[in-house]
Structure 1
Amino acid sequence: MIHSDWGDWLVRDVENANPAGVAIWYHGCNGFVVKGSAGTTIYIDPYLGLGDPPRTTRMIPVPFDPTDVEEADAVLATHEHTDHVDGPSQAPILANTGATFYAPDDSLAVAREDEAWTDEWDVTDEQLTEVAEGETFDVGEFTIHVEIAHDPDATHPVSYVVEHDAGTFFHGGDTKPTDEFERVGDEYDIDLAALAFGAVGRIPDKQTREPKRTRWYNDENQIIECAAALECERLLPSHWDMWKGLTADPTVLHHHAASFDHPRRLEITEIGDRVDL
């Protein structure tokens, strides 16, 4: 069972908000809550677990208990890794709200087969919807485009372009640079892009548990390469706060971005912070 270090104040903050356009809350790791002016609420990659210590050790608070979530229209997953698809973190949201879970095939396999969400929680199979690159669907006031992601550590990653009259939010999951981002940047007018950033560290190997040099996320140059190709106005670095041994300082990115046209601004956020489109 998940226990929140913060009680329910963040969930209530989201539910009580009435944004003029789009409000986006960062809840650590690569998790976000997106809420529009008409009240549509979307959770993206919410993860409230502690990892697998000592291999992966959570370094930030657990910001909310998923059973406290009473308003959600959709939960999106970018890929199949535990900190992006996790039954204890996400299934209670679906059970409480009737929201739809959108995810690529390998992520749905985790929900349906590995973790049996429909058996372990009050979740129906109709709530689990497969998506793939090139598809577009609507959730309330948002139009969501499924785009390519380049994450060599995942079996089928995707990214999401979330469009609203007030602006466009790009969530890249754990993507690294890809030539396809130039096309994405040309096709969409991206106001804010969330991209995973972290250090290279020595993390115990999953099988042998011996320390192994590990690069899971973009370094300083890679994240700016992604942002420049996407032509985003604002870059929000994510994931840098999460795992012991892979944490990083996002403020250094000011130097790396200085000579590029994009991003025009960095949004340095901490867990629990809100930004607006």
Structure 2
Amino acid sequence: MGGPTGTEPMTTSDWGDWLPRAIEAADPDGVAVWYLGCNGFVLKGSEGTTLFVDPYLGTGDPPRTVRMIPVPFDPTDVGDADAVFATHEHSDHVHGESQAPILERTGAPFVAPDASMAAAREDQSWEDRWDLTDDQFQEVVEGDVVEVGEFTVHVVEVNDPDAEHPVGYVFEHDAGTVFHPGDSRPAEWFVALGEEFDIDLGIVAFGTAGMIPDKQTREPTYTKWYNDEGEAVEAASALQADRLLPSHWDMWKGLTADPTALQDHVDSFEHPRRLELVEIGDRVDL
């Protein structure tokens, strides 16, 4: 199985609490989207509904996976959250030290597919380590529709060959639609998704290949976990996304990438119409 796995500690935030305070103070006209680095995001609607997707504040598993960006906040500084969504079970997407304190502090539900739920409840024992209730764990499958405040969230099939059971989320709002497919590669059914949903902002995990120590042997091993330039734009084009936001390119030493390299590929397609380049802590709006 590819991707970071296991449990590792959270480090202290490099930035203090300014980012969660900025999110709480924001009053978007439509939907504001903050990039948390790795593949983590916060969506906040005009009525105040606040959704976290794959927030990760861990340091990885050095020397195999080495975090290359700041830890942007302490999860205990999060005061507002209406749900925390996980796309798949890898530890940079399901991480107790990053996510359980948010659930404990806010009472928000953890929304995830079965393998992610097992990682939280069985492998990492969130309920034993934090004050959480059974009804905070909401398991979903493809085809489910979840209503959270002003957002309608569709659970959809994605293509991540490194995960046991990955899903994607289409976040619909009156102001626009955001698609977060986790670490998915292109899939033939993305065309149908693009026809069904008018996707304003498509998030695609982007990176390079590298020689990463094997999980068991620690021998350097050729590793490719995310989309390359062609795959990233292929996915966004099939989805007919108006804007492509590349993620994950900043995270792991040896697998980082230059998102500006996507521009020439984007220019060759009708979709995406725009490349949305953001760094950790940046905000974009719908």
Q: Shorter-chain TM-score: what band?
A: over 0.9
**1:231-242 matches, cutoff 5 A:** 231-242=240-251
The answer on whether the counterparts of 1:77 and 1:107 sit within 8 Å (CA) in structure 2 is yes
| Aligned residue number for residue 154 of structure 2 | 145
Aligned pair 1:97/2:129, yes or no? no
SS of 2:171's equivalent in the other structure is: strand
- Counting matched residue pairs gives 277
Provide the C-alpha distance between the structure 1 equivalents of 2:232 and 2:132, rounded to a whole number of angstroms. 36
The gaps in structure 2 that reach 5 residues or longer are 1-9
Aligned pair 1:207/2:216, yes or no? yes
| Aligned residue number for residue 54 of structure 2 | 45
TM-score, normalized by length of structure 2? 0.96
| Aligned residue number for residue 262 of structure 1 | 271
**AA aligned opposite 1:51:** G
Aligned pair 1:56/2:65, yes or no? yes
Q: CA deviation at 1:124?
A: 1.1
Match of 2:124 among 115, 128, 138: 115
Deviation larger for 252-261 or 234-243: 252-261
Q: CA deviation at 1:257?
A: 1.2
SS of 2:138's equivalent in the other structure is: strand
Provide the C-alpha distance between the structure 2 equivalents of 1:21 and 1:209, rounded to a whole number of angstroms. 47
1:154-211 residue CA offsets vs partner (Å, 9 max, x unmatched):
0000000000000000001000011010110000000001110000111000011000
Provide the C-alpha distance between the structure 2 equivalents of 1:46 and 1:128, rounded to a whole number of angstroms. 16
Aligned pair 1:157/2:166, yes or no? yes
The gaps in structure 1 that reach 5 residues or longer are none
Q: CA deviation at 1:2?
A: 3.7
Q: CA deviation at 1:125?
A: 1.5
The answer on whether the counterparts of 1:28 and 1:271 sit within 8 Å (CA) in structure 2 is yes
**AA aligned opposite 1:113:** E
Provide the C-alpha distance between the structure 1 equivalents of 2:39 and 2:124, rounded to a whole number of angstroms. 21
Q: CA deviation at 1:233?
A: 0.1
SS of 1:99's equivalent in the other structure is: coil
TM-score, normalized by length of structure 1? 0.99
SS of 1:175's equivalent in the other structure is: coil
1:90-128 residue CA offsets vs partner (Å, 9 max, x unmatched):
000000000011000000001110111111001111101
SS of 1:64's equivalent in the other structure is: coil
Aligned pair 1:10/2:19, yes or no? yes
Match of 2:230 among 221, 237, 240: 221
| Aligned residue number for residue 174 of structure 1 | 183
Q: Which runs of 4+ in 1 moved over 2 A?
A: none
The answer on whether the counterparts of 2:54 and 2:84 sit within 8 Å (CA) in structure 1 is yes
Percent of aligned positions that are identical: 68
What is the Cα-based RMSD across aligned positions, in Å? 0.6
